[in-house]
Amino acid sequence: MSEQDLIELGFERYNETDPKIGDWYYYSSYWNGIDLISNASDEWDSDGLYVEVFDTNIRFKGSGDLWQLKELIYNNLK
């Protein structure tokens, strides 16, 4: 998964600064009640880029699964 994948999926970038570790950022999106958040950019070298459903143990490592999730959510709205 790449940053471009997240941008195309509608994620927004949030920049952070920490005096101890420096500048970093992450991506986040909200899909009809589901909060999605990427890991921090300073972790990408060791862990790769992934997205989690906030406050769960659900993790997406590929953009294809995220596209499917988005399609399922938006195709089944009341």
Q: 22, 40 in Cβ contact below 8 A?
A: no
Q: How far is the C-alpha of 53 from the C-alpha of 44, rounded, in Å?
A: 18
**Per-residue model confidence as pLDDT tens digits over 34-78:** 999 999 999 998 889 999 999 999 999 999 999 999 999 999 987
State residue 47's pLDDT score: 84
Provide CB contacts within 8 A for 64, sequence distance 6+. none
Predicted TM-score of the model (pTM): 0.89
State residue 20's pLDDT score: 87
State both tokens at 2. Answer: 């790449």
Residue type, 43: E
State residue 15's pLDDT score: 97
Q: How far is the C-alpha of 74 from the C-alpha of 70, rounded, in Å?
A: 6
